[in-house]
Structure 1
Amino acid sequence: MSVFKKPHIIMTGCSGFVGNNLLMKLCESGYKVSTLNRKKSLVSFQHKSVSHYYADDFATALEDALKNSSCDVFIHLAGAAHKPELTESDYLKVNVELTKYLARKAAMLGCKRFIQLSSIGVNGSSSSTPFTASDIPAPKESYSRSKYLAEQEIQAICASSDMEYVIIRPPLIYGPFAPGNFQKLVRLVKKTPIIPMGGIDNQRSFVSIYNLISFIEVTIEHPNAANEVFLVSDEQDISTSDFVNKIISSYKQRTLLISLPWSILRPALKLIGKEKALEKITSNVTIEMNKSISLLDWKPPLTIEESLEKSAFHESNKI
């Protein structure tokens, strides 16, 4: 890629949590971005460097976008996330078939690099040792399996074309107004005076939206990112109890964190249907970052504490 001219980026998923934050950062960095969208009502960010394209399907939106510009880098963030109502076939249709179509189209049109946001779930649901990018994939859920299949499709398409791939597998992503388990934890901290999660002795890797966006931006042009799978985190492994404590501190809450034996806590959570949700964030999921750091000369710009304080500030000021 040219070092003199920033590549033109086509991106999906700009209305989502990661996509919206990434889009704002790319504009700050001087990139021109075309976004593919299904619904105009979901797109709020406007900027002189961004062109939004709308259609009932991404194929039509992509064709419209390419009438006005070439595609240097394709960043694919759109997909079906964890939702109980989705079936295996739903995940396959959105996360695999759509990804395969867009990757093929991008390769045909001379796109130089295809960046796919995957999931650490491709490595597995838990591990006694840190996950690495070279591990044999062991996805356990429909969502993770679909993400792994999408990775395979992208790699096969790139192997038969001149397009490079970059696959990024993050763990739990947190930040201001983040959906999923992080926002559930924030709501719990804000609304519950006493939380019985103080005795969870596990180890987990997390990644803040700020560090993830920084990492994605590096992979857009870095030559060493070509045809690589990366794991990314804040590079601070802590227990779920410590993470909740840091949320309490950063969000300036008076919530009391107490310890209850898992033998008591688990049956209580099962009664209210929260057992699986808690098990998901109390298992051991850690990431080895040597490859990401050495190949790309990248370090997370913010610590967990700094990221949480920034998140709390943005939420309180609705930024």
Structure 2
Amino acid sequence: MQVLVTGAGGLVGMAVLGRLEHEQGMQAIAGVRVLAPGNGECEQRMLGDLAEGRVAAGALRGVEVVVHTAARVHVMEESEQDPLAAFRAVNVEGTRALLKAAAQAGVRRFVLVSSIKVNGEVSLPGRPFSEQDAANPQDAYARSKWEAEQLVQAFCEQHGMEWVVVRPPLVYGPGVKANFQRLMRTLGRGLPLPIGALRNRRSLVALDNLVDLLVTCLTHPRAVNQTFLVSDDDDLSVVALAERLARLLGSRSWLLPIPATYLRAALRLIGRAGVAQRLCGELRVDIEKTRALLDWHPPVTVDEGLARTVTHYLEHRH
């Protein structure tokens, strides 16, 4: 079975391709902007720039399943004057172009990697997010992902194509960048962090667990036309995450017990309200539907996932 993966150079896309190369009966195809001969072991096909709203003719020929991981992701320091338009260009219109190409090529199933941010930024205490909750996107990125989900569902149902949507929370694993990498760097240097009083819990998903679920969704008959949430099923407080990472890094964690109310106020004063929300708010997901409907369980524990992440970081840091 030919499976084309978009976002082949990204953390998730690259990991999905790596897994498919070892799956019996699967032929992994990397959907790329520009062909790069000799880069990677699997076949490459040039899709072009999805932000331009078109896909190269014949790129999906013979493909049975598309795993769409390519996206303009959440940007911490936004430079676009119209962020929503920039997100929509890739995440909505790029997805539309890919869907049209998939329908023309006779693709059977379209798997979209979305985001838990479609549900919202903060879950209520004792009420983790579920697939049944009304969408509540709070920023331009989340709105574009919600619009992409709606587009995928409507288009696939109109053209007789199966769809699957997966909404992950924060993904960590070997090669992770951005905030998670910065946290490891700070902890590894033994620098103090004002997060010692943050006991709010947040759901995370190890890269291996997300990839395992995506591969399950390629062929599982009960995944058809369903939305799934995913996590490690072992939520950690901010403090617990920092302490585990520090131990793995072989450093001492200096976590100053600054009350959450003071930390929120300080971050808002310097224009970091979004950071305050992510640090101090609870964001938990319920994966009961994913477990029950697909008979799926995270194959990697939190400790195993964190250990793999830190090992890779230590081996590749500069």
The verdict on a shared fold, with TM-score over 0.5 as the criterion, is yes
Distance 1:115 1:62, change over 3 A: farther
* Selected match of 2:217 from 216, 219, 222: 219
Structure 1 unaligned segments of length 5 or more: list them.
1-6
Amino acid at match of 2:240: D
Please show how residues 12-161 of structure 1 align to structure 2 within 5 Å.
12-30=6-24, 31-40=26-35, 46-47=40-41, 50-54=42-46, 56-58=48-50, 62-66=56-60, 69-83=61-75, 84-86=78-80, 87-128=83-124, 129-161=127-159
**CA distances 1:194-251 after superposition (whole Å, capped 9, x unpaired):** 2221110212110011111111111111111100000000001221111111111222
Distance 1:27 1:281, change over 3 A: farther
**Shift in Å, 1:131:** 0.5
Structure 2 unaligned segments of length 5 or more: list them.
none
**Shift in Å, 1:18:** 0.8
Greater Cα offset, 294-303 or 28-37: 28-37
Checking the alignment, whether the CA contact within 8 Å between 2:122 and 2:283 is kept in structure 1 is yes
Distance 1:108 1:53, change over 3 A: closer
**CA distances 1:119-159 after superposition (whole Å, capped 9, x unpaired):** 00101111211101111111111000000000011100111
In 2: Cα distance, 1:252 partner to 1:152 partner? 45
**Shift in Å, 1:44:** 8.0
What count of residue pairs does the alignment treat as equivalent?
Answer: 308
**Shift in Å, 1:306:** 1.1
Please show how residues 161-176 of structure 1 align to structure 2 within 5 Å.
161-176=159-174
Match of 1:317, SS state, is helix
**Shift in Å, 1:255:** 2.5
Checking the alignment, whether the CA contact within 8 Å between 1:250 and 1:309 is kept in structure 2 is yes
In 2: Cα distance, 1:139 partner to 1:44 partner? 40
Distance 1:18 1:262, change over 3 A: same
* Residue aligning to 2:307: 309
Greater Cα offset, 183-192 or 239-248: 183-192
Distance 1:270 1:136, change over 3 A: closer
* Residue aligning to 1:258: 256
Please show how residues 170-249 of structure 1 align to structure 2 within 5 Å.
170-249=168-247
Checking the alignment, whether the CA contact within 8 Å between 2:46 and 2:59 is kept in structure 1 is no
- Aligned residues with identical type, % of pairs: 33
TM-score, length-scaled by structure 2: 0.90
TM-score, length-scaled by structure 1: 0.90
Match of 1:207, SS state, is strand
Match of 2:66, SS state, is strand
Distance 1:228 1:44, change over 3 A: farther
Checking the alignment, whether the CA contact within 8 Å between 1:36 and 1:54 is kept in structure 2 is yes
Greater Cα offset, 55-64 or 288-297: 55-64
